[in-house]
Structure 1
Amino acid sequence: MENRSRPMAALCSGTALMNASMAVASATGTLVAADRLGAGWGGVPSTAGIVGTGAGAVALTRLVRRTSRRRTFVLGYAGAAAGACLAAAAVANGDVIGLCLGMLLLGLGNAGAQLSRYAAADLHPPGRRGHAIGLVVGCAAAGAVGGPLLLDPAGAAAAGIGLPAFTGPFLLAVVTCAAAALAATGGPRGGTGTGSPPPLRRLVSTPVARSALAVMVTAQVVMVAVMTAAPLEMHMHGDGLAAVGMVLSAHTLGMFALSPVTGRLVDRLGARPVILGGLLTLALSTALAAVATGSPGRPAALFLLGYGWNLCFVGGSGLLARDLPEAERPHAEGAVDAAVWTIAAAASLLSTVVLSAGGYAVLAWTSCVVALAVTLTQSRRREPVRGTSEKAVEPGIGRT
Structure 2
Amino acid sequence: MLLHAKRVRPMAALGSGTALMNASMAVAGATGTLVAADRLGAGWGGVPNALGIAGTGLGALTLTRLMGRMSRRGTLLLGYLSAAAGACLAAVAVAHGDVAGLCLGMVLLGLGNAGAQLSRYAAADLYPAGRRGTAIGLVVWSAAVGAVGGPLLLHPSGTVAGDLGFPVLAGPFLLAVLTCAGAAAATTAGPRGRTGTPRSPVPLRKLVTTPVARSALTVMVTAQVVMVAVMTAAPLDMHLHGDGLAAVGMTLSAHTLGMFALSPVTGRLVDRFGPRPVILGGLLTLALSTALAAVATGALGRPLALFLLGYGWNLCFVGGSGLLARDLPESERPHAEGAVDAAVWMLAAAASLLSTVVLSAGGYAVLAWASCALTLLITLILARRGERTPPAPGQTPPGDAVPGTRDAAAVDVRPP
Task: Provide the TM-score with structure 2 as the length reference.
Answer: 0.93
CA contact (8 A) 2:130 2:400 kept: no
In the other structure, the counterpart of 2:138 is 135
Q: Deviations over 1:91-145 (max 9, x none)?
A: 0000000000000000000000000000000000111000000000001000000
| C-alpha distance 369-155 of structure 1, shift in aligned 2 (>3 A) | same
Structure 1 unaligned blocks of 5 or more: 393-400
Are residue 381 (structure 1) and residue 386 (structure 2) matched? yes
Tell me, in whole angstroms, the C-alpha distance in 2 between the residues paired with 1:325 and 1:376: 29
Superposed, 1:72-111 pairs within 5 Å as 72-111=75-114
**Equivalent AA in structure 2 for residue 211 of structure 1:** S
In the other structure, the counterpart of 2:342 is 338
In the other structure, the counterpart of 1:239 is 243
Tell me, in whole angstroms, the C-alpha distance in 2 between the residues paired with 1:386 and 1:53: 29
In the other structure, the counterpart of 1:64 is 67
Q: State the SS of the aligned residue for 1:186.
A: coil
Are residue 293 (structure 1) and residue 297 (structure 2) matched? yes
**Equivalent AA in structure 1 for residue 283 of structure 2:** L
| C-alpha distance 36-389 of structure 1, shift in aligned 2 (>3 A) | farther
Tell me, in whole angstroms, the C-alpha distance in 2 between the residues paired with 1:387 and 1:296: 42
In the other structure, the counterpart of 1:395 is none
Q: State the SS of the aligned residue for 2:70.
A: coil
Superposed, 1:223-302 pairs within 5 Å as 223-302=227-306
Tell me, in whole angstroms, the C-alpha distance in 1 between the residues paired with 2:328 and 2:343: 18
In the other structure, the counterpart of 1:188 is 191
**Equivalent AA in structure 2 for residue 310 of structure 1:** N
Q: Deviations over 1:130-175 (max 9, x none)?
A: 0000000001000000000000000000000111000000000000
Are residue 356 (structure 1) and residue 360 (structure 2) matched? yes
Are residue 366 (structure 1) and residue 385 (structure 2) matched? no
Q: Give 1:203 shift.
A: 1.3
Tell me, in whole angstroms, the C-alpha distance in 2 between the residues paired with 1:145 and 1:71: 27
Tell me, in whole angstroms, the C-alpha distance in 2 between the residues paired with 1:240 and 1:311: 31
* Aligned with 1:203 (options 199, 207, 231): 207
Q: Give 1:199 shift.
A: 1.8
CA contact (8 A) 1:325 1:389 kept: no
Q: Deviations over 1:58-83 (max 9, x none)?
A: 00000110010011001100000000
* Aligned with 2:313 (options 309, 312, 323): 309
Tell me, in whole angstroms, the C-alpha distance in 1 between the residues paired with 2:386 and 2:191: 35
Q: State the SS of the aligned residue for 1:14.
A: helix
Task: Provide the TM-score with structure 1 as the length reference.
Answer: 0.96
* Aligned with 2:54 (options 44, 51, 59): 51
**Equivalent AA in structure 1 for residue 28 of structure 2:** A
In the other structure, the counterpart of 2:408 is none
Percent of aligned positions that are identical: 78
**Equivalent AA in structure 2 for residue 367 of structure 1:** S
Tell me, in whole angstroms, the C-alpha distance in 2 between the residues paired with 1:389 and 1:99: 48
| C-alpha distance 319-359 of structure 1, shift in aligned 2 (>3 A) | same
Tell me, in whole angstroms, the C-alpha distance in 2 between the residues paired with 1:249 and 1:196: 40
**Equivalent AA in structure 2 for residue 25 of structure 1:** A
Tell me, in whole angstroms, the C-alpha distance in 2 between the residues paired with 1:275 and 1:150: 32
CA contact (8 A) 1:208 1:319 kept: yes
Tell me, in whole angstroms, the C-alpha distance in 2 between the residues paired with 1:107 and 1:309: 19
In the other structure, the counterpart of 2:22 is 19
Q: Give 1:389 shift.
A: 6.5
User: Runs of 4+ in structure 1 displaced over 6 angstroms?
Assistant: none
CA contact (8 A) 2:286 2:309 kept: yes
Tell me, in whole angstroms, the C-alpha distance in 2 between the residues paired with 1:378 and 1:114: 25
Tell me, in whole angstroms, the C-alpha distance in 2 between the residues paired with 1:304 and 1:342: 24
Tell me, in whole angstroms, the C-alpha distance in 2 between the residues paired with 1:281 and 1:45: 28
Equivalenced residue count is 392
Tell me, in whole angstroms, the C-alpha distance in 2 between the residues paired with 1:39 and 1:355: 8
Tell me, in whole angstroms, the C-alpha distance in 1 between the residues paired with 2:226 and 2:197: 36
CA contact (8 A) 1:272 1:382 kept: no
CA contact (8 A) 2:128 2:403 kept: no
Tell me, in whole angstroms, the C-alpha distance in 2 between the residues paired with 1:294 and 1:86: 37
| C-alpha distance 286-146 of structure 1, shift in aligned 2 (>3 A) | same
* Aligned with 2:128 (options 120, 125, 129): 125
Q: State the SS of the aligned residue for 1:72.
A: helix
Q: Give 1:196 shift.
A: 3.1
Tell me, in whole angstroms, the C-alpha distance in 1 between the residues paired with 2:199 and 2:19: 32
Q: State the SS of the aligned residue for 1:188.
A: coil
Are residue 166 (structure 1) and residue 169 (structure 2) matched? yes
Q: Give 1:194 shift.
A: 6.2
